[in-house]
Each structure stands twice: as structure tokens, then as C-alpha cells.
Chains A and B, each alone.
Chain A
Amino acid sequence: MTFFLFNLLNGLQLSMLIFLMAIGLTVIFGLMDILNLAHGAFYMIGAYFGYVVFQATGSFWISLAIAPLLPLVLGFLLQYFVLQPLIDRGRSAHLDMALLTFGLLFFVIGLIDFIFFETLGLTFMSIDKPAGLDSYINIGTFYPSYRLFIIAVGFAVALLVWVVLERTVIGAVVRAGVDDREMVRAMGVNVYFVFAAVFALGCGLAGLAGVVAGAELSIDINMGVQILIPTLVVVVLGGLGSVKGCFYGAMIVGMTETLSQAYVPALALFATYMLLAAMLVFRPQGFFGRAPKTV
């Protein structure tokens, strides 16, 4: 029972980390129809910049507050000055965007590698856990308190995003944009700004996930690609643009990865991909995906 509880919490922790990544990606994809494969790069930028801020200040909390701002600003600039002008010129096909953003991911990987490894000689780094979250809590078994913190952050962000999207005017604008972008423009909304703001927030959340992960996992050059694959699986499972779908999708992927590793290790490598394949065959729009557009 203790072993099961331990793995259940681990699965929950991984689920929340993936959720922080996937929520931005699913809203960006659902709203703007942009397949942003550079999302992993913003996760990396958050983690590495978080490390830099932590080294400069010695405070995890300052790092957590400041580091997501860099991917947030970069995300805004990328959408407003690079992606949107390309879309306006007719280069908005999924393949165009996937190639561009995938290239950008590897550019960021190369740049970070040049700065941190080639220049500074750093390979595997991490941010120190803050006081109070660097110990273990007895819940029938000794469980790392920082992992509980990750679970709490994930739930808090899920609740915040849900409140913003479902209970505010800005959220209604975003949902309306997912339904019919053109009509939102025809209501007098500057969708370019809304798109850039949503893109930026998605990138900021990826950066937040990077900082949070940087204190639990190692910060290394492969982290952006490693997290991107389960994130994309979550987006497909949950359905594009659905916060609820993203949450449940992240829970399924996180739990499947963790529990399969614990109980059926032979399945661990491909259990998630079996789920993905089954979803694409039987319900390609995902659990909570729907035919968008106006009625």
C-alpha cells in the first residue's frame, strides 16, 4: 500500500509538471492553430535562466518569480514579430509552423549549449530546493516535500487558468477566438495582441515548469526535447484548446508513465504511445476536443 501511495504521488507530481507545459501548448494550438514545437525551448529557457537568477540571488523564490518572465517576453516577441507576420503572408500551414518552431528549438538548444557548456563548462545543473521544501514528510512513507510542492503548484495553476478562461472576459475572448477568430476580429478585438498575450502566457507557464523542474530534475541540454513528447501526447489526448482535457490528459500520461514503470516495467517505454495510438484511432479529437467554430 505504501509503495502504491508513493508511486501514486510520483505520478501526480509528473502529471502536474507535464500539465504546466501542456496547458500553454494546448491553448496556443487551440486558439491560433500554431503547432509550437519550440515550447520545449521555453521550458529550457525558464530552467536555465532560473539557474542563473538562483546563482545571482541564492533564492529559489526570487528565481521562481523572475525566471518565467524571460520566456514570457520572448514568447510575445516571437508571436508578434515572427509568427504572426508569417501567418499574414500565408505561411500558416502546420508543416510551416512545425518546421520553423522545431528549428527554433534546436537553435535554443545550440545557443544554451554554447553558453553553458562550451563557454562556462557547465553540464548538469540544478537549483537548490528552498528551506522547508528540502526535506521529507511522513505520510505513511517518507515522501519528498518538494514533490508535494510541485503537485500543489500544478493544481494552483490549473485552478487559476480555469478561473481566467472560464470566469473572466479575457477568458471568454480566448474561448471565442478558439471558436471563430474572424468573428472576434469583427467584434473589434485586436486578435494579434490577444494571440501574442496568450502565446506569451503559454511560454511563461512553460518557463515556470522549467524552474520548478530545475530543483527536482537536472537542468541539462536534453530537457526541452524530453518533456516535449509527453506534452504533445497530452495535448492530443485532452483535445485542442481544452483546459479540462489538458488536465485529465496530463493525469493519464503522468500516471501511466509512473505506474507502468513501477508495476510493469516492460510496458513503460511504450505504454503512453499505445494510449496515443488508441486515441488517434478511436477518438482523434481527444477526450474533450470538439468541432470548433461558430453555430
Chain B
Amino acid sequence: MSRIVISGNYAQSYAALLAKVQVISAYPITPQTSIVEKLADFVASGELPAQYVQVESEHSALQVCISAAALGARTYTATSSQGLLLMHELLHWASGMRAPIVMGVVNRAVAPPWSLGADHTDTMAQRDTGWIQFYAESNQEVLDTVLEAYRLAEDPAVRLPAMITEDAFYLSHTVEPVDVPASEVVDRFLPPRDARAVLHPGTVARLGSFTGPDHYVEFRREVARAMEHVPETFETVEAEYERATGRSHGGPMPTYRADDADAVLVTMGTATTTARGVVDELRSEGKKVGLAKLRLFRPFPTPAVRDLAATVDRLGVMDRSYTFGAAGAAATEVAAALYGASHRPTVSSFFSGIGGRDVTPSEVRRMFAALLAGEPSEIRWIDLEEQEAKADG
């Protein structure tokens, strides 16, 4: 093991290196590009003996990975924002083909207007594509989760693609100390891909066939079943990763000081770190508040949400994206998970950090204050409230 100071993007690159990926394909887009630049260096220097396929679009990048995975190769790609949206059609192909691709996604706002800032709209728009989705809080978590994701995605019970997301700039371009496990350790945790269920040249087979209604539903059910196997498989994978490296990131939805809390805020990605600090401050002020981090968003960790809700009366959910005409994606899903639960807390929906706006401790305090005051749960644009409060001075 070695400790190096790297960005979240380089954490993606080092993880792909350690995973000994065999085919890489990518197209440049800010703020993802340094991931694949670093991988190009690894390949050029001979450290990573992979095929690096330079393509003319993100759409083609994902198709390269799907076709390479179909022959049995371990593949990696990375993208962000518009690039992910361009891939949308192929995201469905990847899961339907049961291609265990791992993709790094830097969460960036969607145009128009143009913005490079952190925002989860790009990946939230891909919730229904059959991909496993992880949202990372730190660079260490990025590296560890990418390695875990390969084991999970390639597990015979799963065989689904996975995306590991990181907030633009807060992680992608911010350096932190990261423990990089030794190659031998990763090799034991993540052996070469077991490529039995793939196309073999020289045999008669077809992958992606035309079907009628007499078979299509069975194929869809198989994808759904694979998704159902993710939670238990991930539990095993994370336990093994902890044995190998001594690190765990706490399963699908780790909590913080939530056991006896009156109000709990559910966060995703880097806003979690800010919120954790605010929880400590409020606790020292005698307020019983806690935190839950949605790390795995697909499949949605319904059992974990229900466990949390059993002891809490007020939940707030912070979304870093907005679903027009509905509400926050995470808030909606948290509320849906609670319908039918024996104990149902109120669920408030907060929008914060949209388009790269900073999620400040002051904003997080505003959310907790609303929860503790028992204010009626309505959709609140915390960024704008904070702006108005500043203007009022």
C-alpha cells in the first residue's frame, strides 16, 4: 500500500489501473478528462497493458465497451454531463447485454445554460437504465468503490454495469491523500474476469437478438433479478474488500449520529462532508440531529431507509438536482420507500448545491432548523433562500 495525494479523477484512473482493465474507450469532456488522460499515460508507459480505443463520441465510447465486454474483456470508460446524456441509449444496451462495464461519471450540470458545476441531474436522468449507481463522498471512496464495483458488476449473480460518480471539482479536481492498495492485494480481491457468458468467435451464438413478446419480458425479468441480487452481493464484496484493505465505506447507506436523532438529513456525494460538520456543531449545541448518506442509489436501498425511519420522526432529503414537474429524485424515492413502512417520518425536500453552488454550513443549518421546527414539508430551494437572506443582510 502507498499513500499518495491525488484528485478524485486520478483515484478513478488508479482504480482502473489496479483493476487491470483490458479495454478503455473514452471521449474528452470537462471535468472528466483528466481521468482518461492519466489512463493514456499508464498505457503509454506500459504500466497498464490495455487497448485504449480513441473514439469520436461518448456514444461510441460506450459501444466500444459493450462490444469489448461481449467478447469477455474487462472495460472502463468515464464521462460527465452532456456526454452521459449522449450515452443514454447505450446505457440501456449495456445493462440489457449484461455487460459488466464500470464507468466513472463526474457529476456536472446539464445545459442550457452552460455550466461546469457539480449537479446530479446527469446521473439522475439515468436512474432507469439498469445501471448500478454509487455516489462518492471522498477521493478514497472513489478508488475503493471502483474496485468494489468491478467485483460486484462481474459477479455471476449480477452481471450488470456500474457507474461511480463524483461531484465536479469538489472531488474531480481537489487533491486528498488516498491509500492505494498494493497490486497483489487487489489481484487477490479481484481476479481476472470470468468470461464464460460471452461470445466466442468460432461458435454459433447471437447476443442482442430480436425477440417477440413471448421472450422479451423474460429478458427484462432477468435484469430485474440481477438488480435484486446487488444488495447481498455488495455486502459480501465490501466485507471482502475490508478484509483485504482494512477499509469499508459503510454499505449502501451509512448513517452518522442518527440513532437517537429527532431529525435526520439524507445527503449524497460531497455535501455529506459539510453536513457531517454541521451535525457535530448542532450536537454540541444540544440538538439531536443525524445524517444518512445515500451511497448506493441504484438499486435503491429501501431496507436501509426503512431501518433509519423506524426511529426518526423527521427526515430531510437534500437533492443536488431538480426533476421538473415533480420534485427531488432522492426525496421522491425516500418517500416512496417509506410508503407502507410501519413508522413513517415526515419527508422534506431541499434543493441545494445546484449547478455547482456551494453547499455551505449555513445552508445545512437552515435545513436542520426547518426539520427541528417541524415546518410543513414542502419543496424548498435552499440556494435561493440563502441568497435572499444574504441580500436582506
> Is this pair of chains taken from one and the same complex?
no
Q: Which residues of B contact A (CB under 8 A)?
A: none
